[in-house]
């Protein structure tokens, strides 16, 4: 198969001074993209700042014959990062929201600062950068956006309640951006990586740390950013040279009333608990419309179709822009 090129594309990679972001920036630049290498250059807990991280990666890309500029803003000022792309390259095709920090504490010990900083970098940073790039992409009729989540968000992880919450928030953000960008060919997907980096050096066992090169994940992220990729609103997990799509499954469940006038009681929930939680014939749902389909079906089964036309249940949004 011929090489998939990124010639003529402009990419922003946040937190590209190290780890996964550095690998993404290198791969995209090696395939022709002009890259904004953003990195605040601070510590892993969100302390300090330095130009060195971004500068080093820009020098490496240029030494390999690629095109890149450094940007040292925090993602919290994402609009400034987008401006760097526009000032230098005049457009933005790809945005990889990757910058991240950790402030791990057991749940009871999380301070307001631990919570706020982690949410600021991961969730607000991705919001600010994406919101600034989004209208540019929509106007161009092309855009590929990546949000970076984590297994910590999908499944929880001891000592990471602040991080888990922010990472799961990014999934909600990405899914709605995917819906709102779709008609303008602006797609948004979520990567769930596991890689050796300074964020994981004391979390992952040393023997598997070696096998988890960021370079094994970068091609998956790059593909999600290519014109040929029509994936949108999906969660893709990648690690150690493996990749797979993740989704949420819902049980077939159980109808807890037998007529429109019947009540739901705690006893009926108790009696039906095995059916409510039985996932053997569960299904994966692709949209809020599919999810609320079961609600409408239940009401139809009860001979009552009232109350199903609210904005939330139909997913119709009156505000188009
Ligand atoms: P890393 O620490 O090697 O790289 C993160 C980069 O983000 C650093 O260079 C840092 O200076 C930069 N950064 C931090 N705060 C910033 C800010 N406010 N503005 C701009 N840049 C900032 O970490 P790694 O492992 O490469 O992580 C990349 C992303 O992947 C993060 O979002 C992380 O949460 C996520 N992730 C990583 C996993 C792993 O196994 N390494 C697992 C799951 C998620």
Please state, in angstroms and rounded to a whole number, the distance separating the CA atoms of residues 81 and 150: 24
The chain-wide mean pLDDT, for the chain, equals 92
Over residues 79-132, the pLDDT tens digits come to 999 999 999 999 999 999 999 999 999 999 999 999 999 999 999 999 999 999
68 lines ligand 1 (CB under 6 A): no
* Residue identifier of the C-alpha nearest atom 31 of ligand 1: 100
* Cα 108 from Cα 106, distance rounded (Å): 6
CATH number assigned to the domain with residue range 10-246, chosen from the 4 options 3.30.70.360, 3.40.50.720, 3.40.50.300, 3.30.56.10: 3.40.50.720
Q: Packing angle between helix 112-119 and helix 161-181, nearest 10 degrees?
A: 30
φ, ψ (nearest 5 deg) of residue 178: -60, -40
Distance CA 17, CA 198 (A): 12
Res. 1: pLDDT tops 80: no
pTM of the model: 0.94
Domains 10-246 and 249-314 agree in fold: no
Tell me what pLDDT residue 2 has.
59
pLDDT value at residue 67: 98
Q: Which of 189, 184, 146 is nearest to 321 (CA)?
A: 184
Q: What is the dihedral of CA 61, 77, 80, 176, to 10 degrees?
A: 90
Q: Which of 12, 99, 212, 242 has most ligand 1 atoms within 8 Å of CB, for mutation? A: 99
Domain boundaries of the chain, sorted by first residue? 10-246, 249-314
pLDDT value at 319 more than 60: no
**pLDDT at residue 156 greater than cutoff 70:** yes
Which two tokens mark 283? 């299904």
Q: How far apart are CA 263 and CA 246, in angstroms?
A: 36
- Alpha carbon nearest to ligand 1 atom 29, residue: 98
- Arithmetic mean of pLDDT, 21-43: 97
Phi-psi group of 228: left, alpha or beta (phi > 0 → left; psi -120 to 50 → alpha; rest → beta):
alpha
Q: Point out the ligand 1 atom lying closest to the alpha carbon of residue 42.
A: 11
Among 111-125, 256-270, 284-298, which stretch is predicted with the lowest mean pLDDT?
A: 284-298
Is 17's C-beta closer than 6 angstroms to any atom of ligand 1? yes
What is the token pair recorded at 233?
A: 């609103």
CATH code for the structural domain at 249-314: 1.10.287.4290
CB atoms within 10 A of CB 47: 10
With a cut of 0.95, is the ipTM above it? yes
Q: What is the pLDDT of residue 134?
A: 98
Asked whether 234 lines ligand 1 (CB < 6 A), one says no
d(CA 208, CA 260): 56
């Amino acid at each position: 198969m011929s090489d998939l090129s990124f010639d003529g594309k402009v990419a922003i990679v946040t937190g590209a001074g190290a780890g996964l972001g550095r690998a993404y920036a290198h791969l995209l630049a090696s395939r022709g993209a002009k890259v904004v290498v953003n990195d605040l250059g601070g510590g892993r807990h969100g302390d300090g700042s330095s130009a060195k991280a971004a500068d080093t990666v820009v020098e490496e890309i240029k030494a390999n014959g690629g095109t890149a500029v450094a940007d040292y803003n925090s993602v919290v000022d994402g609009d400034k990062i987008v401006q760097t792309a526009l000032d230098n390259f005049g457009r933005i095709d790809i945005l990889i929201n990757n910058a991240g920090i950790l402030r791990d504490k057991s749940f009871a010990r999380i301070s307001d600062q631990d919570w706020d900083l982690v949410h600021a970098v991961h969730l607000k940073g991705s919001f600010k950068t994406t919101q600034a790039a989004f209208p540019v992409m929509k106007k161009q009729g092309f855009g590929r956006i990546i949000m970076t989540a984590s297994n910590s968000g999908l499944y929880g992880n001891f000592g990471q309640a602040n991080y888990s919450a922010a990472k799961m928030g990014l999934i909600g953000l990405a899914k709605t951006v995917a819906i709102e960008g779709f008609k303008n060919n602006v797609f948004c997907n979520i990567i769930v990586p596991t890689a050796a980096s300074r964020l994981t050096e004391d979390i992952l066992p040393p023997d598997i740390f070696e096998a988890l090169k960021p370079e094994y994940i970068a091609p998956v992220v790059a593909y999600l950013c290519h014109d040929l990729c029509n994936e949108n609103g999906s969660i893709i997990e990648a690690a150690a040279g493996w990749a797979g799509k993740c989704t949420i499954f819902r049980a077939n469940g159980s109808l807890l009333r037998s007529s429109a006038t019947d009540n739901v009681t705690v006893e009926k929930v108790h009696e039906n608990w095995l059916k409510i939680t039985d996932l053997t014939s569960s299904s994966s749902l692709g949209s809020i419309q599919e999810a609320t389909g079961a609600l409408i079906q239940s009401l139809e089964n009860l001979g009552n179709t009232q109350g199903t036309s609210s904005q939330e249940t139909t997913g119709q949004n009156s505000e188009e822009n």
